[in-house]
Structures are given as structure tokens and as C-alpha cells.
Amino acid sequence: MTNSNNIDMEAVVHEQYRLWNGEKRDELLSYMKSLGPNGFTVEFVGGPVQDGVEAIEATWDKYGSKTKLEIVLLIAKGNEVAVTVNNNVHTENGVITIPSIDFYKVEDGKLTIRYFHHEPS
């Protein structure tokens, strides 16, 4: 998947979220690596850009089995996509929804992800 001109970014996001919601950690990481064979990064906006594998593994460890992602709006243009997401976190007190806007870009064999998360009050 190195040619960013041939990637269906809408399908990319749907597949990533399907794997996350299906609790398929290894498949998700493998899929993301295939999108960025020359590397991938994750930035939680307001923090540093991180190695993608390390960031996704840390996020999975914290939220993987208790968070389901719900796409609210997805807009794909070429090799980029913006997604409004409800991150539904299952807690002892019920579900807390944390909205986010997620950006994905595939270019020159690199996957770049930026997450704008609203922190719960």
C-alpha cells in the first residue's frame, strides 16, 4: 500500500476502527504498518509526535478493551481523511463519550495520524 494515489482512505479508516472495535490488536498494528511501510507517527495534538507503534500500543493498553469507536462524520479527500469520532469508554459508572477529530494522511509510504481529543470533564 505504498502508492498513496491508490488508497481508499475512507476504507482505511473503516478497517482500522473495525479492527479496534473487534479487539484485534495485532491485526490493527499490522494493518497500520502496511499503510506506512516507511514508518508511521501519532500525535495527540498538544503533545509530541510519537512513534506510531509505541503510541498505538500504549493507547490500546489503556483503552483497547473498554472503548468502542463510533464514526460520526468522515470526509476523505485524496490521500487524507478527517473523522469525527465518539470514543465510547465503558467504565464502572457507565459509558463516557469522549469526542475526537482524527486526521490520517498517507504520503510517500508514511502514515501520519493526528488526534484532537476532548478530555472528559
Q: What is the pLDDT of residues 24-77, one digit of tens each?
A: 999 999 999 999 999 999 999 999 999 999 999 999 999 988 999 999 999 999
pLDDT at 86 over 70: yes
By three-state DSSP, how is residue 53 classified?
A: helix
How many other CB atoms are found less than 10 A from the CB of residue 40? Answer: 23
Enumerate residues 6+ apart whose C-beta is below 8 A from 21.
68, 69
Q: Looking at per-residue confidence, does 39 or 120 come out higher?
A: 39
CATH of the domain at 39: 3.10.450.50
Q: Do 44 and 54 touch, CB atoms closer than 8 A? A: no
pLDDT at 1 over 80: no
At residue 120, the pLDDT reads: 61
Q: Which domain holds residue 39?
A: 4-117
Instruction: Please tell me the total count of domains within the chain.
Output: 1
